[in-house]
A and B are shown apart, each in its own frame.
Chain A
Amino acid sequence: MQAAAQLTHDQVWAWLAAVPDPEIPVISVVDLGIVRAVQVTGDDAVSVTITPTYSGCPAMQVIEDAVRDALRQHGIGHVDIVTQLSPAWTTDWMSEEGKVKLKDYGIAPPSQQAGDMQVIDTSGLKSALKSGLKSGLAAAVSRRALPPPVVACPHCGSTHTQLTSQFGSTPCKALYKCLDCREPFDYFKCH
């Protein structure tokens, strides 16, 4: 195959950057941060490391097939796909370009760094109780609750928006509505 003659690492990344996510076709599997590593292992052999977004994401098999197909179409005879769990996928790996594409498509991109979202403060009431039940309760509630993310409406840009449902049409999204333009929209959760 012609392409295989000067197969480079960058070339493979460029090809993969054209492989759309099966559920949100405006962004690629590279934009999403699903492709973690690429290795050219021979004249027409490539190893691609991917990581799942959510454990049960039904798109993962489709993504694997799509990556394989795309590389085969470019003349790669041997495609080895490695699934890697750790470090676990995070929306922090999403490209800036990908976030813009999401917004243009009508999905609000993740609004903050995911790192802060992973811990539930369970120190709760125990210590706070000593300072009186009422204030103890308030302290426990505020510790457990997350500061609500500022989510901008992808249609009108207003940040006057409200969570409708913690889960949406796919595991990676939540449902919001805009209180200004009144449009409902999907929000890509920080993860």
Chain B
Amino acid sequence: MDAKTNYLLRLGDNALVLSQRLSELCGKGPALEEDMALTNVALDLLGQARMWLTYAGELEGRGRDEDALAYGRDAHDFTNVLLVEQPNGNYADTLMRQFFFDTWHYFLIGALTKSSDERIAGIAEKSLKEVTYHLRRSGDLIVRLGDGTDISHRYAQKAADELWMYSGEVFNYDAVDEAMVEAGIAPPAAHLRQQWLDHVADIFAEATLTMPPADAWMQKGGKQGRHSEHLGYLLAEMQFLQRAYPGAEW
């Protein structure tokens, strides 16, 4: 598989796996408005995942469409970062995971609108409005939790501390990412990381939360298919129907 196909799969898998995680909260949100927001964000991400995976399938040239890629691969073939497969936990965990992701996603997608690959730029242009709305919402909610009650502050801080080690993988570039940078398709890591750190620092200051150290040790491996055990359970639920009844339609 060439680097661009691999890179597109990563983009698609990140959006797909986070979408599936958020969908788990459908009907279980802590308030009706939150329930709708989470599922709407999940829907946006699902739409984006479809566009990335369709393109990846076409480039790969083995006849796999978006469905074959989403439902027919095992955990070790998924290339999403570890952050998005983390369980929903409590609501502060869900929102902190979302905020870390949205901040990266916003700066990445913004940069991808200038990608040398026209189709990637088009998908990014389409996604950017949605991603902007997501970040605005998750940033606001982090401020509300952190600068809320003693209890909400404590939960938000704990979520930040525990999820922090998963926040660095997106900036840990391997040969695939570097090939994309070289081809002018994707932005380099250093600038993206600085933008991420600055924005998280801003929101955390407003939220009266303490930011864990930027140079902390970070988890990695998801992009290369080395996942936590959580992903297998997520895929088992997501893929069950197509595995049991291949090609089923309704």
Q: Is there a chain A Cβ closer than 8 Å to B198's Cβ? A: yes
Contact in complex: B205, A171 (CB < 8 Å) = no
Interface centre among B45, B202, B206 (most CB of A within 10 A): B202
The B contact surface, by secondary structure, is helix
A171's partner among B44, B106, B125 (CB-CB below 8 A) is B44
Q: Is there a chain A Cβ closer than 8 Å to B225's Cβ? A: no
Interface residues of B in 105-143 (CB under 8 A from A): 106, 121-123, 125-130, 132-133, 135-137, 139
Q: Is there a chain B Cβ closer than 8 Å to A126's Cβ? A: yes
Q: Is there a chain B Cβ closer than 8 Å to A158's Cβ? A: no
Q: Which residues of B contact A87 (CB under 8 A)?
A: 125
Q: Which residues of A contact B14 (CB under 8 A)?
A: none
Q: Is there a chain A Cβ closer than 8 Å to B51's Cβ? A: yes
Contact in complex: B43, A54 (CB < 8 Å) = yes
Q: Which residues of B contact A146 (CB under 8 A)?
A: 136
Chain B interface residue count, Cβ-Cβ cutoff 8 angstroms? 37
Binds A, one of B33-41, B73-81, B175-183: B33-41
Contact in complex: A141, B206 (CB < 8 Å) = yes
Contact in complex: A171, B40 (CB < 8 Å) = yes
Q: Is there a chain A Cβ closer than 8 Å to B189's Cβ? A: no
Interface residues of B in 53-76 (CB under 8 A from A): none
Q: Is there a chain B Cβ closer than 8 Å to A73's Cβ? A: no
Q: Is there a chain A Cβ closer than 8 Å to B195's Cβ? A: yes
Q: Which residues of A contact B148 (CB under 8 A)?
A: none
Chain B nearest Cβ from A180, distance in angstroms? 22
CA gap between A164 and B126 in the complex, in Å: 26
Q: Is there a chain A Cβ closer than 8 Å to B154's Cβ? A: no
Q: Which residues of B contact A122 (CB under 8 A)?
A: 195, 198-199, 202
In the complex, which residue of chain B has the Cβ closest to the Cβ of A165? B33
With contacts A54-B130, A55-B127, A86-B122 known, is A137 near B37, CB below 8 A? no
Q: Is there a chain A Cβ closer than 8 Å to B87's Cβ? A: no
Interface residues of B in 1-55 (CB under 8 A from A): 32-33, 36-37, 40-41, 43-48, 50-51
Contact in complex: B137, A55 (CB < 8 Å) = no
Contact in complex: B132, A55 (CB < 8 Å) = no
Q: Which residues of A contact B44 (CB under 8 A)?
A: 54-56, 171
Q: Is there a chain A Cβ closer than 8 Å to B234's Cβ? A: no
Q: Is there a chain B Cβ closer than 8 Å to A175's Cβ? A: yes
A120's partner among B33, B37, B126, B136 (CB-CB below 8 A) is B136
CA gap between A141 and B48 in the complex, in Å: 29
Q: Is there a chain A Cβ closer than 8 Å to B201's Cβ? A: yes
Q: Is there a chain B Cβ closer than 8 Å to A81's Cβ? A: no
In the complex, which residue of chain A has the Cβ closest to the Cβ of B121? A86
CA gap between A58 and B40 in the complex, in Å: 11
In the complex, which residue of chain A has the Cβ closest to the Cβ of B204? A125
CA gap between A85 and B37 in the complex, in Å: 24
Q: Mark B200-214, 1 if CB is under 8 A from A, else 0.
A: 011001100000000
Q: Which residues of B contact A141 (CB under 8 A)?
A: 206
With contacts A52-B126, A137-B206 known, is A120 near B40, CB below 8 A? no
Q: Which residues of A contact B137 (CB under 8 A)?
A: 166
Q: Which residues of A contact B136 (CB under 8 A)?
A: 120, 144, 146
In the A-B complex, the 10 residue pairs with the closest CB atoms: A56-B47, A55-B47, A124-B202, A165-B33, A56-B43, A86-B122, A85-B122, A167-B40, A167-B37, A85-B126
> What are 30 A-B interface contacts by the 8 Å CB criterion?
A52-B47, A54-B44, A55-B48, A55-B126, A56-B48, A85-B125, A86-B121, A88-B128, A114-B129, A117-B129, A118-B132, A120-B136, A122-B195, A122-B199, A122-B202, A126-B202, A137-B205, A140-B202, A140-B205, A141-B206, A144-B139, A146-B136, A164-B33, A165-B33, A165-B37, A167-B33, A167-B36, A167-B37, A167-B41, A171-B40
A residues apposed to B, CB below 8 Å: 52, 54-58, 85-90, 114, 117-120, 122, 124-126, 137, 140-141, 144, 146, 164-169, 171, 175, 191
Beyond A85-B123, A165-B32: 7 further Cβ-contacts under 8 Å?
A54-B47, A55-B47, A56-B44, A120-B106, A124-B198, A140-B202, A166-B37
